[in-house]
Amino acid sequence: MNFSCKNGSLSILCVTAFITGLFVLVPAQPGFLNIDCGGIRNSIDSETNMTWIVDANYIDVGNIANFSMPNTPFHMQSLRFFPRPLNKSCYRLPVSPNVNYLLRLWFLFGDYKKFQTVPSFNFSVETEGFVTHRTKTVIYAHVPRITDMILTSPNGVFQVCLIRSFDDTDPFISAIQLRSLVSGMYSLQVKPGIMLHTIGRYDLGNKSPKAIRYPQDEFDRIWSLDNALSLRTNNQAISKCSVDFFGKKNNSRNFPPTVVLQTALMVETATQPLNIFLEAVEGQNLIVLYFAETQVLNASEYRKFKIVINDIVVRNISLDVKSNFVELPVTYNNTGLAVNVSLETIEDEPGKSNRKALINGLEYYNIVPTEPLTDASDVSALSSIKTAFGMKNWTSDPCFCISWEGIRCNKNNTVRVVEVNLSGRNLFGSVPSRINDLIALRSISFQENHLSGFLPDLCNLGRLEILRLQNNNFSGIFPDCLSKLKNLKELNLENNNFSGVLPQELMCNKLLDLRYSGNPYLHKVENNCHSKDNKIKIVVVSVIGALLGGSLVVIFVIMYQRRRCMKAKDVGLIAIMEPNTSSCRSFSLLEMKTATINFSQKIGEGGFGSVYFGRLPDGKDVAVKLLSSSSKQGLAEFLNEINLLSRVNHRNLVSLIGYCNDSKELMLVYEHLCGGSLKDHLYGSLSNISTLDWKTRLRVALDAAQGLEYLHVSCTPKIVHRDVKSSNILLDTNMRAKLADFGLSKIIGDDVISVRI
């Protein structure tokens, strides 16, 4: 085995090829990486002599598809798409730290029949510490969509992520190209945290039919022809010239290739301005203009002109130095108008003749700032949990755009993880000690698993409010430091093997919902809470008295309001009982309109009204049930669900997240289960693309049975669902089932429910 790898940005690939003997992983062009997404074999593009490699080494999720389209390169006739339950899927690309790269993404689906509608989705390019881009991408069948950007990474990795959007079409990608740039190129703008998104790159004056790219441009930048631009002078006459290039490139390494500088646009007469109209892109943009002398000027001639943008003079240009370039940052807020770049001659040397204004090349970029990503220490801590429990669907940043399943984040200036909910995931092993580094955590839920071993130190989690560990196999001495967590409101240790003594501070904390039954080796000390200062007793008695008095007033008001509600015809006048605010929250009508994009995506219909898909600011997907003002039966079901779901909490029952009672609008907000209903999979909309094997069917039946068992046996008071059917059994991404729709349910006494064997 005998080969060599040049030093460069893709040295990691070279090492991989050396170790594995896979020569095809080393690109033929140094610093180039060409990935055929969904490809089945490596290939060489005959036109550019570029090596294309399959994408299997960079991603391990998604499906591949192929299609046949005439006059389309082989590497563009395949794609990788990401069906449900995949919501965010990422390619991991190794790069050299702090080196500028050109990253180009290709999208084309041709006659592939999977996409019945025009695909629309988001994507991002992420690296540790920041995200560099996210945009809605709309793809058309036979026209390649190209996204071109220049960016850098501080840590040596780009993650190109395809993200499902509200349109719910499957994200896909056709090809990825990566080119390392030379030090100094675009260095004034590109840095960790800032990216240049290419709006256009133009070879002005070129009369050839094809755009300029590799090998004419050694970095494979694509220079389009100027016929894509709107060009105008007062007399509409513009000359295109193609002559020898007499200038010399200055020390700007991002100067275009010589072939671009050999052509230019000129006005017909020196007295006329040359106007170039660019698309107005909102935000901060960068216009780079390139000028090079294409003629030999005698002693009586000179070439000077001024650059005017939207009637504002920004720079004077003299080509006495043979070549020049200008970088012009432009902030534009009015996208209804075009950006007018005008070149106007300057007559300032008496006795000499000023030649016509010219321009050779133009680059136009949108300067994209970063968005904050998850705190690095939180990412490291979650990574240890990911490794311990084998969470394969946790990819890229934990919080950006779509949070990792079971993770909730607080997105302020610093993004921190505030909830880890891995209940009912069939997890084995012990909880990693790194969880103690998630200092912003407010809730931890590990119940209903097979976790064992000692509970790690949680003393750093001073903001923790909820800790649910029930129904596992935890063992060891109960950690005394939990009593130091002053914000703890719920602690459930039931059905484990903890030993030792419960601290007095926990036993005496009246604000703490403490549950510890089912731990045969865990003991409590004698209740000494009564030995507190007598002043506290006096205060408590006074408060209780005040509460009793207030309760009488509240009861009177409730009875009065209930009597009014029974008579009211307007649904908006109904005063509903607030759900349990420890398990759900109140939303405003504006928050609901924002989450559902003004109720634009309807996903269900019932006697109560319509159900809409929504997404909360923390990235959590929800289903919003909106009570119709004309629904009489729906109102009764609506109030019944509030009453019941405020009482129940089980992994096989759909959770109530919140509610809205604002501006005469009544809504319930549930967790959204993106797997659809059991009915959809058996004989509905998903039956043609989803097949339930017998193992899955048995698990669904068992989940539904466990939900009913909880309602009939464990719940206090007991509840009968009364509407169990396949459309009311919903599935999550792991095909685990939960019972939904409690509108017809009924609270019933113990003696009514019986089990016949």
436-465 residue pLDDT tens: 999 999 999 999 999 999 999 898 999 999
Is pLDDT of 723 > 60? yes
As a residue count, the chain comes to 757
pLDDT at position 524: 74
Closest CA relative to residue 363, chosen from 283, 231, 252, 255: 255
In this prediction, residues 323-343 reach a mean pLDDT of: 78
CB 130 within 8 A of CB 103: no
What six digits make up the tokens of 267? Answer: 């006005």
Is pLDDT of 578 > 70? no
Q: Are both 156 and 247 inside the same structural domain?
A: no
- 137: containing domain: 11-181
pLDDT at position 510: 85
Q: Are both 341 and 389 inside the same structural domain?
A: no
Q: Is the peptide bond before 85 cis (omega within 30 degrees of 0)?
A: yes
Q: Which CATH number characterizes residue 702's domain?
A: 1.10.510.10
Evaluate whether residue 203 is within a structural domain.
Answer: yes
**All residues at 6 or more sequence positions from 484 whose CB lies less than 8 Å from its CB, including other chains:** 459, 505
pLDDT at position 438: 94
Per-residue confidence band for 422, with pLDDT thresholds at 50, 70 and 90: very high
Is pLDDT of 398 > 70? yes
pLDDT at position 702: 92
pLDDT at position 581: 47
Tell me which of 690 and 306 has the higher pLDDT.
306
Closest CA relative to residue 84, chosen from 63, 102, 70, 66: 63
pLDDT at position 63: 92
In this prediction, residues 78-106 reach a mean pLDDT of: 90
Tell me which of 622 and 272 has the higher pLDDT.
622
pLDDT at position 318: 80
Evaluate whether residue 127 is within a structural domain.
Answer: yes
Residue 669 DSSP code: E
Q: Coil, helix or strand for 176?
A: strand
In this prediction, residues 276-289 reach a mean pLDDT of: 87
Q: Are both 349 and 479 inside the same structural domain?
A: no
- Which of 369, 402, 426 terminates a domain? The answer is 369
Q: Are both 332 and 296 inside the same structural domain?
A: yes
Is pLDDT of 9 > 50? no
Beta bridge partners of 534: none
pLDDT at position 431: 94
pLDDT, one tens digit per residue, over 101-150 is: 999 999 988 777 666 667 778 888 887 655 655 555 656 666 788 899 99
Evaluate whether residue 591 is within a structural domain.
Answer: yes
Q: Are both 345 and 418 inside the same structural domain?
A: no
- Which of 369, 396, 431 terminates a domain? The answer is 369
Per-residue confidence band for 570, with pLDDT thresholds at 50, 70 and 90: very low
Would you list the DSSP string of 331-375? EE--TTS-EEEEEEE---STTSEEPPPEE-EEEEEEEEE-EE-B-
Rounded to an integer, what distance in angstroms lies between the CA atom of residue 326 and that of residue 249? 13
Q: Are both 386 and 323 inside the same structural domain?
A: no
Q: Are both 63 and 149 inside the same structural domain?
A: yes
Is position 703 annotated as part of the catalytic site?
no
Q: Are both 225 and 103 inside the same structural domain?
A: no
pLDDT at position 757: 27
| Count: domains in the chain | 5
Evaluate whether residue 3 is within a structural domain.
Answer: no
pLDDT at position 132: 58
Q: Are both 152 and 27 inside the same structural domain?
A: yes
pLDDT at position 102: 94
What six digits make up the tokens of 82? Answer: 């990401």
Share of the chain above pLDDT 70, in %: 77
Closest CA relative to residue 242, chosen from 255, 260, 254, 230: 260
pLDDT at position 191: 73
Per-residue confidence band for 635, with pLDDT thresholds at 50, 70 and 90: low
Rounded to an integer, what distance in angstroms lies between the CA atom of residue 461 and that of residue 650? 25
Comparing 407-416, 579-588, 654-663, the range with the smallest average pLDDT is 579-588
Give the burial string for 111-123 (b: 16+ CB within 10 Å, else e).
ebebbeeebebbb
Tell me which of 442 and 331 has the higher pLDDT.
442
Per-residue confidence band for 240, with pLDDT thresholds at 50, 70 and 90: low
For the purposes of burial, counting CB atoms within 10 Å of the CB of 586, is it exposed (0-12), middle (13-18) or buried (19 or more)? middle
Is pLDDT of 8 > 60? no
Q: Are both 353 and 389 inside the same structural domain?
A: no
Which of 723, 741, 750, 751 does the annotation list as catalytic? 723
- Which of 369, 391, 426 terminates a domain? The answer is 369
Q: Coil, helix or strand for 717?
A: coil
Q: Which CATH number characterizes residue 413's domain?
A: 3.80.10.10
pLDDT at position 4: 35
* Entry pTM: 0.60
Evaluate whether residue 4 is within a structural domain.
Answer: no
Per-residue confidence band for 20, with pLDDT thresholds at 50, 70 and 90: very low
Is pLDDT of 38 > 90? yes
Q: Are both 587 and 683 inside the same structural domain?
A: yes
Q: Are both 172 and 250 inside the same structural domain?
A: no
What six digits make up the tokens of 65? Answer: 């598809």
In this prediction, residues 53-67 reach a mean pLDDT of: 91
pLDDT at position 22: 36
pLDDT at position 165: 78
Evaluate whether residue 186 is within a structural domain.
Answer: no
Q: What is the mean pLDDT of the chain?
A: 79
In this prediction, residues 41-70 reach a mean pLDDT of: 88
Comparing 119-123, 349-353, 650-654, 704-708, the range with the smallest average pLDDT is 349-353
pLDDT at position 440: 92
Q: Which CATH number characterizes residue 32's domain?
A: 2.60.120.260
Is pLDDT of 333 > 80? no
Evaluate whether residue 194 is within a structural domain.
Answer: no
pLDDT, one tens digit per residue, over 199-212 is: 999 998 887 778 88
pLDDT at position 567: 45
